Structures are given as structure tokens and as C-alpha cells.
Structure 1
Amino acid sequence: MTDHKLDHMIAKSKTLSPVDELTKAQVKVELKRLTLELESHDKHYYQEDAPKITDAEYDALRKRFNAIEARFPEFVTGDSPSQKIGAQPSGRFAKVRHAVPMLSLDNAFAEDDVVDFAARIRRFLRLGDDDKIDFSAEPKIDGLSMSLRYEGGELVTAATRGDGAEGEDVTANIRTLKDVPKLLKGRNVPEVCEVRGEVYMTKQAFLALNERQKAAGDTVFANPRNSAAGSLRQKDAAITASRPLGFFAYAWGQMSAMPADTQSGMIGWFERCGFRTNPLTKLCHSVEQLIAFHRKIEEQRGKLDYDIDGVVYKVDRIDWQERLGFVSRTPRWAIAHKFPAERAITVLRDIEIQVGRTGSFTPVGKLEPIGVGGVIVQNVTLHNEDYIKGIGGDGEQLREGRDIRIGDTVIVQRAGDVIPQVVDVVLDKRPRNAKVFHFPKKCPCPLHTDVVREETATGEEGARARCTGEFACPYQKIEHLKLFASRRAFDIEGLGEKQIEFFFEKEWVREPADIFTLPARNNRIRLEENEGYGETSVRNLFAAIEERRRIALERFIFALGMRHVGETTALVLARGYGSWKAFHDACLKVAKGDEEAIAEMDALDQIGDTVIASIKAYFGESHNRGIVERLTKEVTIVDAEKPKSNSAIAGKTVVFTGSLEKMTRDEAKAMAERLGAKAAGSVSKKTDYVVAGPGAGSKLADAKKHGVEVLTEDEWLDLIGQ
């Protein structure tokens, strides 16, 4: 993707300076602006399942953000995009903690992105232009990720990816798949090995299954991936056995010994063990071969009997994979090169407004149902008021004169084959009675509070509209409660969105603490006398509530619903403070403007001005403090997990500054964290070590000011025994 296109996707009509021309003053403003945009899009995608931009647009925003951080590491804060993986386990099955996390892949949407991917690898490994990099390339199966654990060559556990750290135990169901061996073939099989891959259903089997489902009056699936997931998540393994599911092996988790030293070698080993691997997988020796392979697979896509949505490239040498490591949620050594989106034409029947947890207004188009890429699409994002008017906004701007009206014939696409959006209007088919949509000036809630356009970090009017009612607005209260009970927060089984709305309407639950007092109030409420509830379901719900009275600190922080405090930020804060008391005390001090407390929070790696301002606003409001106080009387908050390492730097706080010569800064941070240390972004009196290379600047001065021990790179390596 060219810089011109990238900048256009970020700011549309704005002109952005190239990253290498930005001043430090410009960088501070630019990072804040990009942070607000990225966190907003993360919220819509991960929390509300209602993305507002395409994958490619998001990738462009993130690409510029990363480029700025790389050039100005002293401005690195916690406002980077949330690093979420998948979704929390559903609770229907026992949970399995992955010995090695199952991470997601970064995406490429253009051939230039693939060129950049290879160039980043070359720079990170410090390879010359003549040094060859081999890549393993394979079709990206659109299925359900699975981890199979073998001990002594025998299958003992099968788990879904879940949230990347914890998945669902579906061992009994996986045992019914013929593509999954119960015993691994061959000699010298490692004592412990986790084989990972994708469970899928062929297109032909999908159509036949839907015909049977329809004839029996059962659920009809939207696409092969959904049918594979639904078939695997059956309580009765006999049902799974009756469904034609396949499995392709392509990766691994925990291994007590490695049977091969390359990705392609591991694929060959999987085959010898009895697994099925994708026959289209190919070893490529250059970027040109990768792109040629992608074009070839795209041409074959329609003829394949299983769904794919791109091609995955992986560095073939495993020792290079290990050195490249990860950037939070994604490996540096792999990328998914997506296919272009599929499109269809239909009619826009209506436009409705949804009010989000933070009061943001999202216009949703109601479509005449249409099939796009094998999925029936009925709702579509219209981004914001400016996008509907055809004057820009968060979405790719429509062509001049292309405003969107109710009754219009529109072109719909699923970006990255996932996100439905309107990309154009067919003006020739616009009916005379097409209605112009007027964006509301008042919130549809009973309070009818004003709707305002947000300001951007530069003080300009933004594209987002927001209800000013805050926590007084019922819509926002409901959305906060939904987040609180969601799987990523308190994970209360049986308390989903519909139940929250019902309890709120009945005025039984108006704030989080009310959930935990619900069982004690049931002698007055008599929940079992309401439609949809019986003694058993009520008993199960109350048991689920009781089970969640004990919660991890990071989940509790996330569940409070503070703006800009997503799962990743909550985890950083939890690890930084260790206990709820320490964190709560710090928040109260921050709310009062205590400079020392603010500096201490700011010193945490990945925590910056935006997060601190949000925490200050939240705990500065007496209503919020009351909510928190009443809630903490009902639950037990478990301290953050302490580092398990017994290394010389376990529990220490380290700051790296200047140019390291024997490793990159990312490598140094990753190494420190593996050994149980905390890699911070700024120096405070609580910093234990500053590792300074050539060109060290203000952080070195801060170290001397606070009396922090300064180490050279060699002294650091000696300390950690490297």
C-alpha cells in the first residue's frame, strides 16, 4: 500500500506530513488523534461487533501509528490498539488454558503490504539484500482454530482457540473426526506435542447439511464456517460425528522436542504422523513467488470445495521465527494476505440509530436481505452523519454526489469477507420518493439529551456524534451493564444482552452491584414467575452469579467500562499495581491531580495521557465512585499474577533507551518480560534499571535525577546471564 493511499485512508481530505518529516510537537498531536480513532474502532469491532471501517482502513491507521512510534520511541504509550484475540470461551464446555497462547495474524490487503512485510523481517534480522528468506505459503482456511494435545503419542485434549489464552474443551467431539488421529504414527514422537490447525466443512457438505436442517425444521447455517463451529460445539458428540468435518494441520503449540527446524519440515512431519495437511501449501523463495502464489490461489478460490479468505505466509526457518517473536497479539514472522471483498446490489429500506456504551451514535442501514460471499446480509454500517451525506467521514468517502437515502439501490460489500458496508449508490435507480435521512439532534432515550459532535485531538469537529447524557442515559447504562456481564469481563453465564435489557426495564438491575444482590431480592422479585424463567433456570443463573463473585484484577478493571481502558490496558494496569487496593488508591489520587501518582501511572509501559485522563474523569465523578464502592462490597478481586521467574531481574522495572547494538529494543523488552521483569516506557523513582545505548537522551538524565542504576548493554546481558 503506497504512502499516498495510506494517508488518504487515514485522514481523507486532510493532508498529512510523511512520518519522517514530523516534528516532535506534531507527533504528540498525531499520536493522540490516531489513538482516539484506533481505540474507537477497536471498541466497535471487539466490544460491539459493529465495525465502522474496513480491515484495510484499520490496517492503514495502525500502520501509520506504528511508523510514528518506531521513529519516536520516547512517545510510546498505552494508547496503541487493543491486542484482542478471538473471544472468551462460551462457558458451555470446560475451559482449557493453552500452554502456548494461540495468537492471531496481522493482515495484508495489497501486494505492497507483502513487500513491506518481507522488508520488516529483513531489517529485524539484519539481513543483507542477498540473504535469502524462504517462506511457507498456504491457503487461509475459513474455519475454526483447534489445538490438539498429545502425550506419549496419544490424543488427550482438544481445545478451541477461545480468547487465545483459554479455550473450550471439545475433546470428545474432536475424536469423531477422521482427519484427527487418536495415536500419532511413527517413531521418535515427542512426549508432549500440540498440533494446531483448522476444523472446516466443505461447501458441498454445507449445502447438504442445510437441506437436512431445513427439512427437519432445525437451524439453517449462514456459511460453512458457522456450520463447522456449530457442529463442533455440540453437547452430544454423536451429532458432531454425523456432520462431515475435516481438519488441516499447519502449526504447533507446546513441544517437548522439535521434529524439524523449518515450517515446511513440520508440515511434512504432521503428514507422517497421520494428519491431513493442505496440498496447496508451497515453499516460496522470494516475495515475487509469494505474490504469484496468491494470484494463483485467488484464481482457484471459486473451484475449491472449502472456503478460504486469503493466503498465509510464514518465515520457514523456525530459529528465525523464534528470534522475530511477537508484537503483542501477532507474530512478526507471519501475515495473512487477504482476498478482495465480494459485492452485491440491494435496496436500503431504512436507517436506524444505535447508541453505544459511551453514547456514540451509529447509523445502521436496514437492507433488503441479500447474499454476499455466502452470507445473508440484512444490516450494514453507515459509519456516521458525514458518510450518509456523502461528504466523508470514517468510511471510504463515496464519489461526489453519492449521498445515501432511504429507498436507494446500494452496492454492499463484505470487507475482508466479514464486515458489511455500503460502498456506493446506484443513482440511476434512485426512486422519486427516496427519503433524505436527518441525523437526530436529541438522544432517543427518555431524557432526550443533546447530541454533539466529538472534538478531535486537534480541537476540530469530529465525525462522531455522541449523547451528552453519560451515565444518566438509559442506553449507556444498559450498554455498560452488558459489558460488565460479558465474557471478556465478569463472564456471567445466562446473563446476556436480552436478560440485561429485561432486568433493566423491570428496574431490578440498574448498576453492577445490583446483579450480585439479585438472588437475595428474589423473594420479592419472584423471577421464576416471569415468562422464559423456571425454577431450574433461575437456580442456574443465581449459581452463575455466585461463581463470579471472585474475579481477576485485570477483568475487574476492564469491566468498569472506563473509556480507552480496553483489555490490554486493563492488563497493563493490573500488572503495574498488583492489587485492587493499590490501583484504587492510585486512581483516587490521579482524580485529585496528584502529580506523583500521575507520573507513576504514566511511567507504566503503554499507559499515556489519554488513558490517564479517562481514569481521572471516571474516578473524579462521585456517581462512579459510588458504583465502584457498592460493587467492591459484593466481590473479591484477585491480585494480578506475579512473575513466576526466579531470574535476577524478576519483579524489577527496566527502561531501555538509546540504540542497542546487539539486539533490537523490541527484542530486549521481550527478553526482559520473559525473565519476569516489567519493561517500562519512562523513568521514575520506582525504576530499577535503565539500560542505555548510544544516543541515550532524556531518560538517561531522568535516571540520574532519580538515582536509578544505569547499565550498558553488555552489563545488562551479564546481569541476565546472556
Structure 2
Amino acid sequence: MDRNTVEKRVRELNDLLNDYGHAYYVLDRPIVPDSVYDQHMQELLSIEAEHPDLIFPDSPTQRVGGEILAGFSKVVHEFPMLSLSNVFNEEDIRDFDRRVQAGAGHSITYICELKIDGLAVSLKYENGRFIQGSTRGDGTIGEEITANLKTIRAIPLKLTEPITIEVRGEAYMPKKTFMKLNEARDENGEEPFANPRNAAAGSLRQLDPKIAASRNLSVFIYGIGGDGSAYGQDSHSDSLDYLASLGFETNKQSKRCKTIDEVIDFIESWQARRQDLDYEIDGIVIKVDGYEDQEQLGFTAKSPRWATAYKFPAEEVHTKLLDIELSVGRTGVVTPTAILEPVRVAGTTVARASLHNEDLIREKDIRIGDAVIIRKAGDIIPEVVSVLVEQRTGDEMPYHMPDNCPVCDSELIRIEGEVALRCVNPQCPAQMKEALIHFVSRNAMNIEGIGERVVDQLYTSGLVHDVADLYCLTKEQLLSLERMGEKSATNLLTAIEASKANSLEKLLFGLGIRHVGEKAAHILSEEFSTMDEIAKADAEKLTSIHEIGEKVADAVITFFNNEDVLEVLAKLKSYGVNMDYKGRTRQEIPTEGPFAGKTVVLTGKLTILTRNEAKEQIEALGGKVSGSVSKKTDLVIAGEEAGSKLVKAQELGITVWNETELVDALGEKE
């Protein structure tokens, strides 16, 4: 056969085998006998062996895993993978409903979906072909795991339509696979996985794709990056149907609910029969179905206002409280921790549980030696629920919090209005170490290679007393630390040097000012642009910022009035640590021009600019780019083959531009 004929046959076999696989693995409806599948697969393997240049990315032979990966590269998500708020009981659910109804101004239809207990993933397709897969990561940046995701047969390598799309899903390990995997690990003397979620995550983060291929993972796709309105869908339920038509496996147990009572009935139904499923679920996701309603409700800094996750009640078990230990956090709060007889809870062995504060110990009458009931709050954090008073023998000992810090022996105080006891000695070693750990963490200065163990060594050895001392460490000093090799020391110094270039908000958050989280640090940096300006700001100036309240303002002023703080800042500046905000300050955001203060929607295919370029330039001129058309939309940019968004804009009387008009308007900024 000539090459064109061979290539044509390869593409035919790819399409045939992918169709057979979709029917078998996704639809659970085999359409040919195994012998026919095997025959076609052997033919394809034979041709690919003779013509390796005809091995295409969507070939089913590429699912078995290729060469071992060198490592995972970072992927910036075009649409952030936001986390959901949680609700735990009927009262919480009804409160969520009241907020949604009030925000929307009319009755709402919800869609409920099973909350799969797996690993969130993002899949990108270009012209209908799978090109990249990544983990959720921190929601903004994930790790590329394309080779491993290709081994999941429920993920189509080629869609039924040649579209470019990014979808979101949950990769999971079926219960039967999990049990077999742990049996094999036991036989091999390996530590068993704690639960199917950990097993799925561990499988997809293997550097050898063959390991992932052997784990029989699957996936449910639950949404489109941004939302489905860009593809002509008006609601989340419509998008689920559309995703299924493209060849994705969606969970068929979702349900549209017209009232919150229907939502609660759905939750109670699945809570009673969750064990009947072949995969683990840990709750129910509740979403507002209509995209226009979602757009109107909007987002908080961390999660959408139009969705929440109901978490099933945690598993509760009995054990014995052996002792109570104290720890001191970076803000000086002294936290009691229960030391328990180890016990299995929700798939892991638990030997410690937070007791939070002295008031909780007194309220629950917790004594050393008590038989207690524990659970994992949100299936994650162990906590003591109650004491089994009827099992007391009389040997149990009441616990009283000490008057002095367990680390530095300074007197503990309780600030008015707070329940926590606090060590206020700024030189307390425990606080200093916790402050260092916070400073180097990913969301702060992001200095890779400095974990709790290294921080403890640096502080104990006297090499580091405050965060500024990190910037004068030498390789010789690092090599003196236990288990620190030449390469690790070099990488650590490189990471420390790189962190000097971080934007102001990272440093501000890393300094650990009370009540100043990531969002507040970003707002302050955006408003004042330099560390010196923040340090000079008074209460009136701080509270004049809409998002900053008196509590945050007081904390900021107190922090910068501390001489020790000013000394550390001076040292950081002398070592070359950046003290300026690198983004666009609030004063720099345009208040005039064609896009200033406008909500803009992009629809259809753009040919002059990419969608990202258009979005970035519009936002640089003070506009906000939205994913769906609503009454709040000011302007719609309609490219080629614009669909339902254009129709809706015309129905609402919204101004519509073509791409040439957009480019002309963007040119006005020159």
C-alpha cells in the first residue's frame, strides 16, 4: 500500500477502536466481540511498528503509558478551579438557599450531583483532540499529567466534534480496584493506601505512566472551563448533556430540583445508599442550574456564591484519650491537642485530635483517661465529639491549661473577646519557627526546599532568628544541616534568591500580620503599591478602603508600629527583597475609555486576536470580561459563528461589536 492508503487505514482503525472503547468503558454497552477489538488492535500495532511516524496522539495504543517522565511541569489554568463552600446539615442548606434566592431575586432551579471522592483534573482539547491534562493544584496552577491521564480509557482522545474546549472532571479509583490494589500492596509488604482518593491521586502523580495504566482509574466529567455558555448552553444541566454528546463520561445520577426540599430529599436518598455505588462519594454538590443566574450571583474571593457542597456526616469511632499536649502557633495562640489510642477513622489511622481551646475542654468535660468519641470534621480533621461519661472509672484526671507558655515560660494572656490563650512574647521560639514556616509557604514567598524539619534545624542551630536571616544563608551553613546535600543546598539558595523578586502581596502575606490573609494582602498592595506606604497608612486611610475593616486596620497599624518589625523590614530591603507591588494599582486602573467599568462578553471565533489577548487588553483598560450574557452586560464582542450569546444580546438590546470594532477601540489606548 502507498503511504496515503496506510495513513487512511491508521486513522480508520483509530476511530474504530476509540468508538469501541467508548462503548465498552463509558457507555457499558459493547458493540463488538473482544475478538474483533483485538484483531483491529493487532493490525494497528503492526502498522505503527512499521510506520512509527503514523502514531497519532489519539491512537488507542498510546493509553498504555510511554517513557518515564522526568518530572511534572506547571500548568496555569485559563479558568481558575475554585473550591466550593461546604454545608453540613439541613439548616446550612436552607441558609444557602435563602442567600441564593435573595441574590437572584426569583425562584431558582438547582442541579444536584454526586460529589465524587477523587482527584480534580482539567482536560484541554484542541480541534477535538486531547492535548493536555493537569491536576487542580492550588486552583490557579496545577501539574501537567497528560501522559498519565491518557491511560484512563473513560477520557476520549478524540471528541465527536472538532472543537477547542477545556473541561473539568474528577478522576477516581473504583472500590473493587482499590481493594485489589491494597491486597497486592499488603502481600508485597508495602503500606496500603488510606482510601480510594489517595490511591487515585498517588496513581496519577507517578512519573511512570505504566503504573497509572495498571491502576484501572476512571473519570467523571462535570463541567466546562468558565461555563458552557460559550458553547451555546444556557444551563449546567444542558452542558452535562452536551459533554456526554462529545464523548465524555458524565455521572448520570444528577438531578434538577425546583425546590430546596427536593434537594434535601435527593441528599437523604443518596446518603442512605451511597454504599451501593462502585465508587466513593463524600457528599452532594448543589449548583444553581441557569448560567444567567450564576452570573448574577457571582463569586466570593474563594468560591462561587451559586454552588456549595453538602458533606455527609463523618464516621464516628470510640477510643481513649491518653494525654493532652500543647503547641504554640505563629500568632502565639496555645492550642491543646488530644493524644489518642490510635484508631482507624474514615480510612486513616488517627492518634491526635485538636481540642481547640480551654473553653471546649471545659464545656465537654474532657479528662485525661476518658473514653471518647472522635470523628473527622469534613472527613479530614480529627476532632473529639464527646466523652463517654458512663465508662469513667474514677481514675480520669481533669485538665487545666497552664499559666505560662510551654515553650518560653512567658505568662499567657487572654485577649478580650477571644477564647484562646496567647503567648505574647515576640521572641518565643515556637512562634518564631511557625512564622518562618508560614513565610516560606507556597502562598507566601514560596521558597521550595524549606520544610518544617529544615526550619527547625535552621532555628535550633542559630543560623536563622527571623525571616530576614534566610537571605544571608551560605552554602557552607546549609551543608552543615543534617540530610542536606550539595544539590539540595544549591537548589534552596536558588529558591531563596528567586523569592526576592516576588510581588509585594506575597511578602505582605508572608509576614504573618494578624487578620491579613491573602486577599487582604493583595488589596493593600493594590491600594498602596509599596511597603513604605502601607507602613505609613493611618486608620482613616485604611478603613476608607471598602474591603478593609477596623480589625484589619488595627492589626496593620499595630504591626508596623513594632520596632522589631521595622528592623526586619530594613534587613529584608538591604538584602534586595522587593517591596513594591508588580501588578496594576487601583490608581492605575482606567476610569475613562471605551471599556472602563464595563462588563464585556466575548463570543464566537476571533481571528485577529486570541480570546486571551482580547481578555487581557480589555481588562487592562478597566473592563471586566464575563462568560455569559445578562442584563448586567454592557457590551458583546461577536466573532465568527457567534451563537446563542449574540442572539440573547440582541434580545436584551445590548450593544454588539464585531472584532474589527474591538481592535479599533483597543487601538485608542496607544
Please, which of 399, 409, 429 is the counterpart of residue 448 of structure 1?
Answer: 409
2:562 paired residue number: 621
| Contact 1:259/1:269 (8 A) holds in 2 | no
Alignment of 1:381-392 (within 5 A): 381-390=354-363
Q: 2:386 aligns with which of 424, 444, 452?
A: 424
The residue aligned with 1:513 is 468
Deviations 1:359-413, CA, capped at 9 Å, x for gaps: 10110001111122223221111121122123xxxxxxx3xxxx11111100112
User: Which amino acid counterpart does residue 335 of structure 1 have in structure 2?
Assistant: T
Q: Kindly indicate whether the alpha-carbon contact (under 8 Å) linking 1:550 and 1:638 is maintained by their aligned counterparts in 2.
A: no
Aligned to 2:458: 503
SS at match of 1:305: coil
Offset, 1:318: 1.9
Shift of 1:244: 2.6
Partner of 2:221: 249
Deviations 1:101-143 (A, max 9, x none): 111222222223333333333332222xxx5x33221111122
Give yes or no for contact 1:407–1:431 (8 Å, CA) kept in 2: no
Q: CA deviation at 1:328?
A: 2.4
After TM superposition, the structure 1 stretch with the greater mean CA deviation from structure 2, 620-629 or 541-550, is 541-550
Mapping 1:241-390, distance limit 5 Å: 241-254=213-226, 257-390=230-363
CA distance in 1, matches of 2:406, 2:78: 48
Of 464, 473, 479, 2:434 maps to 479
1:575 matches 2:548: no
1:646 is displaced (CA, Å) by 6.6
Match of 1:407 in 2: 369
Residue 227 to residue 675, structure 1, CA distance change in 2 (3 Å) = farther
Match of 2:574 among 611, 633, 639: 633
Corresponding residue for residue 494 of structure 2: 543
Letter in 2 for 1:273: L
Q: Report the alpha carbon displacement of residue 647 of structure 1 after superposing the two structures with TM.
A: 7.0
Q: Take 1:612 and 1:652, find their aligned partners in 2: how far apart are those partners?
A: 29
* Rounded Cα–Cα distance in structure 1 between residues aligned with 2:454 and 2:123: 35
State the alpha-carbon separation in 2 of the partners of residues 245 and 513 from structure 1.
Answer: 46
- Cα gap change, 1:647 to 1:190, in 2 (>3 Å): farther
Q: CA deviation at 1:677?
A: 7.5
Contact 2:597 2:622 in 1 (8 A): no
**Post-superposition offset of 1:481:** 0.3
Letter in 2 for 1:201: M
- Unaligned stretches of 5+ in structure 2? 1-69, 599-617, 625-654, 656-664, 666-670
Distance 1:639 1:256 in 2: 35
1:126 partnered with 2:105: yes
How many angstroms apart in 2 are the aligned matches of 1:266 and 1:425? 48
Most deviating of 327-336 and 356-365: 327-336
- Secondary structure of residue in 2 paired with 1:331: coil
1:345–1:412: 8 Å Cα contact kept in structure 2? yes
* 1:541 alignment partner AA: L
Pair 1:642 & 2:584 matched? yes
Displacement of 1:501 in angstroms is 0.6
* 1:438 counterpart SS class: coil
Structure 1: segments with no counterpart, 5+ residues: 1-90, 391-397, 457-461, 591-596, 655-671, 679-716
Q: Say whether 1:111 aligns with 2:90.
A: yes
How far has the Cα of 1:202 moved from its partner? 2.2
Contact 1:574–1:640 (Cα < 8 Å) also in 2: no
Q: More deviation in 213-222 or 362-371?
A: 213-222
Q: Where does residue 629 of structure 2 map in the other structure?
A: none
2:71, 2:562 → 1: CA distance?
Answer: 38
CA distance in 2, matches of 1:439, 1:115: 39
Matches of 1:147 and 1:317 in 2, distance apart? Answer: 22
Match of 1:611 among 524, 531, 552: 552
Distance in 2 separating the partners of 1:241 and 1:638: 47
Structural mapping, 1:516-595, within 5 Å: 516-519=471-474, 522-523=475-476, 525=477, 527-577=478-528, 579-580=529-530, 583-587=531-535, 589-590=536-537
Q: What SS does the aligned partner of 1:296 have? A: helix
Alignment deviations for residues 638-687 of structure 1 (CA, whole Å, 9 cap, x no partner): 52422898773799899xxxxxxxxxxxxxxxxx9997389xxxxxxxxx
What are the equivalent positions in structure 2 for 1:38-117 lying under 5 Å apart? 93-117=72-96
* Closer, same or farther: CA 646–653 of 1 in aligned 2, 3 Å: closer
Moved more, 343-352 or 447-456: 447-456
> Which residue type is aligned with residue 234 of structure 1?
Q
Counterpart in 2 of 1:151? 126
Q: What SS does structure 2 have at the residue aligned with 1:629?
A: helix
Give how far 1:163 is off. Answer: 2.1
TM-score by length of 1: 0.70
* Residue in 1 that maps onto 2:147: 172
Does structure 1 retain, via aligned residues, the 8 Å contact 2:229–2:235? no
Residue type at the aligned position of 2:622: G
2:424 equivalent among 468, 472, 478: 468
SS of 2:472 mapped into structure 1: helix
* Contact kept? 1:105, 1:330, Cα under 8 Å: yes
Identity %: 40
> Is contact 1:490-1:559 (8 Å) kept?
yes
Q: Indicate yes or no: 2:194 matched with 1:215.
A: no
CA contact (8 A) 2:221 2:248 kept: yes
Per-residue deviation at 1:235?
A: 2.3
Secondary structure of the structure 2 residue equivalent to 1:448: coil
Aligned equivalents of 2:619, 2:327: Cα separation in 1: 41
SS in 2 for 1:178: coil
Q: Sort the Cα spacing of 1:539 and 1:408 in 2 relative to 1 into closer, same or farther, 3 A.
A: same
Deviation digits for residues 551-587 of structure 1 (CA, Å, limit 9, x no counterpart): 022111101111111111101111112x32xx42331
Partner SS for 1:444: coil
The letter of the residue matching 2:524 is: L
Closer/same/farther in 2, CA of residues 677 and 195 from structure 1, 3 Å limit: closer
Amino acid at match of 1:235: L
Distance 1:625 1:142 in 2: 47
Aligned residue in 2 for 1:602:
543
Which residue pairs with 2:67 in the alignment?
none
Partner of 1:695: none
Query: 1:275 deviation in Å?
Result: 1.5
Alpha carbons 1:148, 1:158 under 8 Å: kept: yes
| 1:542 match: secondary structure | helix
| Residues 190 and 257 in structure 1, CA contact (< 8 A), matched pair in contact too | no
- Equivalent pairs counted in the alignment come to 534
Aligned letter for 1:676?
G
Which residue of structure 1 lines up, in the alignment, with residue 197 of structure 2?
Answer: 225
Output the CA distance in 1 between the equivalents of 2:557 and 2:99. Answer: 38
- Decide whether the 8 Å contact of 2:148 with 2:213 is kept in 1: yes
Indicate how the Cα distance of structure 1 residues 169 and 256 shifts in structure 2: closer, same or farther if over 3 A, else same.
Answer: farther
Aligned equivalents of 2:594 and 2:437: distance in 1? 38
Residue 636 of structure 2 aligns with which residue? none
Cα separation, 2, equivalents of 1:92 and 1:467: 43
Contact 2:539 2:554 in 1 (8 A): no
- Matched residues in 2 for 1:487 and 1:92: separation? 19
Quick one: structure 1 residues 651 and 482, their matched pair in 2 at CA, closer, same or farther if it must change by over 3 Å?
A: farther
Deviations 1:40-61 (A, max 9, x none): xxxxxxxxxxxxxxxxxxxxxx
- Structure 2 equivalent of residue 12 of structure 1: none
CA contact 2:301–2:519 (8 Å) conserved in 1: no
> Cα–Cα, structure 1 residues 508 and 343, in superposed 2: closer, same or farther, change >3 Å?
same
Contact between 1:572 and 1:605, CA under 8 Å: does it hold in 2? no
Q: Deviation string for 1:669-706 (max 9, x for gaps)?
A: xxx9997389xxxxxxxxxxxxxxxxxxxxxxxxxxxx
Output the amino acid matched with 1:125: A
Answer 1 or 2: higher relative contact order, Cα 8 Å, separation at least 6.
1
Change (3 A) 1:211 1:148: same
